[in-house]
A and B are shown apart, each in its own frame.
Chain A
Amino acid sequence: DAGVIQSPRHEVTEMGQEVTLRCKPISGHDYLFWYRQTMMRGLELLIYFNNNVPIDDSGMPEDRFSAKMPNASFSTLKIQPSEPRDSAVYFCASSFLAETQYFGPGTRLLVL
């Protein structure tokens, strides 16, 4: 199994631009999670899905952030418009029956 796949691995953009991060979970997993890692706040849960349905988005920082999961094999996290304080590493993770979560390599986002 290829594990959780995230793209792009690195993204540099200018403030105000739209950013889209992508994730392909492990085949057969029914949960998908988006986390953000920063030096100041550590690892934070942003949103998670069960069977493609958003269950808890209370960690999404503001309306500029949105996430979708159109099918079991694909999810996106979108930031529009982006701001410098959004600079972080964004991780996607997936699990089966909400037990062990397996993480992707992350997307390192820098907003100038």
Chain B
Amino acid sequence: AQSVAQPEDQVNVAEGNPLTVKCTYSVSGNPYLFWYVQYPNRGLQFLLKYITGDNLVKGSYGFEAEFNKSQTSFHLKKPSALVSDSALYFCAVREGYSGGGADGLTFGKGTHLIIQP
């Protein structure tokens, strides 16, 4: 069975500082990894994904994430935080086709990111 852990319920960062939201995963085969953001009373918006290739993935709104296979991690990062980045962030995983896994995503519990002015 696949799983995702987001160890921090909340991350507080001052505006202009770098931010990191942590994510570790467990999956049998090769992982497909995703980050989504959810604003209050809204659906989930896709930020970025890792399927294969370069371990550093760049996404929307200046976010990036680094895939680390040995540590089974996929942390979300941004060099300079904005107040408008405050939201709920979800990491998700599914097995890649080589693993023969199911196609649905398994989500972490989410991390509230609060950017203080």
Contacts and interface: CB of A to CB of B under 8 A. Distances in A.
Interface in B41-57: 41-46, 49, 51
B91 to A, nearest CB: 11
Interface in B30-81: 32, 34, 36, 41-46, 49, 51
A104 B108 CA distance: 19
Nearest to B44: A103
Contacts of A42: 107-110
Given A91-B44, A99-B51, A48 B103 contact: yes
Nearest to A48: B104
Taking chain A's interface residues, is the majority helix, strand, or loop, or is none over half, making it mixed?
strand
Contacts of A100: 34, 46, 49
Contacts of A43: 90, 107, 110
A50 interface: yes
Contacts of B109: 42
Interface string A85-112: 0000001010000111111111010000
A26 to B, nearest CB: 12
Interface of B: 32, 34, 36, 41-46, 49, 51, 90, 94, 102-110
Interface of A: 4, 31, 33, 42-43, 45, 48, 50, 55-56, 59, 91, 93, 98-106, 108
Given A45-B106, A50-B103, 13 more contacts: A33-B105, A42-B107, A42-B110, A48-B103, A56-B103, A91-B43, A99-B49, A100-B34, A100-B49, A101-B34, A102-B46, A103-B43, A106-B42
14 contacts: A31-B103, A42-B109, A45-B105, A48-B103, A48-B104, A56-B104, A59-B104, A91-B43, A91-B44, A98-B94, A98-B103, A99-B51, A101-B46, A103-B36
